[in-house]
Amino acid sequence: MKYLGIDLGGINVAAAVVEEDGTILGRGRVATPRSGAEAVAAAMSEAVRQAVENTGCTMADIASVGIGAPGVIDPREGVVEYWSNLDFHHVPLVSMLEQRLGKSVCIENDANAAALGEYAAGAGKGSTSMIAITLGTGVGGGAVLDGKLYTGFNYAGLEVGHFVVEYNGRLCTCGRRGCFETYASATALIKRTKELMLINRESLIWQVVDGEIDRVEGRTPFEAAARGDLLAKELVEEYQSYLACGITSLINIFQPEVFCVGGGVAGAGETLLGPVRAIVDREDYARDSARRTILTLAQLGNDAGIIGAALLPLFR
Ligand code: BGC
């Protein structure tokens, strides 16, 4: 059986044909339009077309389509209730896509999908409780507690990107100040890198991007830090300290058996997570307990969301 997963991100729409065990057979990718929901639905169906074509199959081979989408998602109604990054309000994404694809479509919050993917086939496999966060355009979170996805009564739970790590801090797209994602998302890291580059013309970061500031990505400061650039090291440390602050608070609330970190920035691997783990180890309130949360990288990497989305019907 083949399943189709779509990961709707702030930058790209990615689609993949996935087997029941989580193996990806073919992929498609289209830039996310910022011109409204119809354009986004069209981009999604184009990414699906590419994934099917690259797999060498047809839509008739696909059992179902699952979407992982950011924001507050009502999976029963198939609606994106609210997504601050693209200013979506009550968008019936499931019916829009069903009309285009002629297939049954289901939807879940993107980070919930990533958490399910990691729980089924990655870092959370066999655990009793797991929290997963994703560091991308925003910061997402999902919790699988005693084998069940915890969503809150209205599906808006675990919006970890929007809990505050700095009172009155940076302005978030949601309107609050100091939200975790204004410090720990890829977007935040890129923005901060650019800010500091502009006042430090001699930094090695400029060399990493060949003098073109628009080429800064989440991995850029990590690359410059690895080459010994002091500014980049400070940037990475600042980023890690906010990340550790948010993770420690989440661990203090949930004390999950496994806490896994995925999304684009997690591509930096242990270079990112090692120092974060050291801070969390020191600050976790359960530091004296014999049993401690395992803080680890998402095993499915950036594919956790797309795999979880594809396999959504199997979790229902
Ligand atoms: C949204 C979440 C989403 C996360 C990752 C946040 O800005 O509020 O719903 O899971 O970004 O895409």
The model's pTM? 0.95
Residues of the chain with CATH 3.30.420.40: 2-117+303-315, 126-298
Give the residue, by CA position, lying nearest to ligand 1 atom 1. 71
Ligand 1 centroid distance, CA of 79 (Å): 15
CATH architecture of residue range(s) 2-117+303-315: 2-Layer Sandwich (3.30)
Three-state SS annotation for 189-234? HHHHHHHHHHCCCCCCHHHHCCCCHHHCCCCHHHHHHHCCCHHHHH
CA of 272 to the centre of ligand 1 (A): 21
How far, in Å, from the CA of 201 to the mean position of ligand 1?
Answer: 33
- CA neighbours closer than 13 Å in the CB half-sphere of residue 205: 30
Which residue's alpha carbon is nearest to atom 9 within ligand 1? 71
pLDDT at 233: 98
Structure tokens at 182: 């204004």
The tens-digit pLDDT sequence of the chain (316 residues) is: 899 999 999 999 999 999 999 999 999 999 999 999 999 999 999 999 999 999 999 999 999 999 999 999 999 999 999 999 889 999 999 999 999 999 999 999 999 999 999 998 899 999 999 999 999 999 999 999 998 999 999 999 999 999 999 999 999 999 999 999 999 999 999 999 999 999 999 999 999 999 999 999 999 999 999 999 999 999 999 999 999 999 999 999 999 999 999 999 999 999 999 999 999 999 999 999 999 999 999 999 889 999 999 999 988 7
Q: Could you tell me the fold of the domain covering 126-298?
A: Nucleotidyltransferase; domain 5 (3.30.420)
Which residues have C-beta atoms less than 6 Å from ligand 1?
70-71, 85, 109-111, 134, 136-140, 159, 161-162, 181
- The ligand 1 atom at the shortest distance from the C-alpha of residue 162 is 8
Q: Which two tokens stand for residue 148?
A: 């069940």
| Three-point CA angle 51, 57, 63, nearest 5° | 85
